C-alpha cells in the first residue's frame, strides 16, 4: 500500500506542471497539506489580436489533506465553512466564467459507506452576479489508499480520476 507521504510527494510532482502549488495552507482553521491554483485564460481573435471575439477565464483551486475518518457531521461542518468563504477565495473579474474548488481528503483505510454515499451526492454551486460573472463549483473527492479508490459526485469523475493512487504511482502497485 502506498503511504500518505509518498502519495503526497508523487501527486505534488504530477500537479506541478499544471498548478501553482504552495505547501501547507490554512483555511477556516484547518491546515491543508497541499494547496494549488490553476488559471486558464482563453481568447479567440479575428485575424489579429486587435479584434477579440471572446475572452473567458477558468480557475481551479485545490485543497488536500489527510482525513482520519472523523464524523460525517464534522465533514459537513468543514464543507459549510469552505462554502461560506468561497467569495473570499474566488473573486471573479469581468472575464470569469467558472471556477472549481476541489477538496481532496486522503484516507489510509477504507472509505465508510455513509461517507461514500455522502461524497457521491455532494455538489455545491455558487453563482456570481446572477451568473453574469460566472459560477463556482465546490466538489469533494475522497481517496482511499488502501482500496485504491476515489469517490466523488458523478459529474466530477473525470477530475477525480486524476487522484487515483494507481494513476499517481503506477509502478508502486503489483
Please write the tens of the pLDDT for every residue from 50-78.
877 777 788 889 999 999 877 888 889 98
Contact 151, 163 (CB under 8 A): no
Q: At residue 173, what are phi and psi to the nearest 5 degrees?
A: -80, 145
DSSP 112: P
Neighbours of 39 (CB within 10 A): 12
Contact between residue 27 and residue 37 where contact means Cβ atoms under 8 Å apart: no
Distance CA 97, CA 42 (A): 10
Nine-digit cell string for 126: 455558487
Query: Which runs of consecutive H residues, i.e. helices, occur in 31-134?
Result: 72-84, 86-89, 113-121
- Whole-model pTM: value is 0.86
- Percent pLDDT > 70 in the chain is 95
pLDDT in tens, 120-138: 999 888 888 776 778 888 9
93-116: average pLDDT: 88
CA angle, 126 as apex, 93 and 139 as ends, to 5°?
Answer: 110
- 83 alpha carbon, distance to own chain's centre: 13
CA–CA distance from 114 to each of 17, 35, 78 (Å)? 35, 27, 17
Amino acid at each position: 500500500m502506498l503511504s500518505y507521504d509518498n502519495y503526497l510527494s508523487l501527486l505534488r510532482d504530477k500537479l506541478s506542471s499544471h498548478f501553482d502549488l504552495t505547501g501547507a495552507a490554512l483555511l477556516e482553521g484547518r491546515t491543508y497539506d497541499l494547496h494549488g491554483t490553476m488559471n486558464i485564460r482563453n481568447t479567440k481573435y479575428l485575424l489579429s489580436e486587435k479584434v477579440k471575439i471572446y475572452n473567458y477565464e477558468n480557475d481551479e483551486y485545490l485543497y488536500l489533506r489527510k482525513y482520519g475518518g472523523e464524523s460525517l457531521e464534522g465533514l459537513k461542518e468543514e464543507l459549510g465553512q469552505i462554502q461560506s468563504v468561497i467569495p473570499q477565495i474566488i473573486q471573479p473579474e469581468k472575464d470569469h466564467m467558472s471556477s472549481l474548488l476541489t477538496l481532496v481528503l486522503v484516507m489510509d483505510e477504507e472509505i465508510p459507506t455513509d461517507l461514500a454515499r455522502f461524497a457521491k451526492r455532494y455538489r455545491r454551486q455558487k453563482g456570481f452576479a446572477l451568473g453574469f460573472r460566472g459560477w463556482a463549483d465546490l466538489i469533494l473527492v475522497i481517496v482511499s489508499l488502501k482500496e485504491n479508490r476515489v469517490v466523488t459526485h458523478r459529474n466530477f469523475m473525470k477530475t477525480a480520476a486524476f487522484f487515483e493512487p494507481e494513476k499517481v504511482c503506477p509502478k508502486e502497485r503489483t
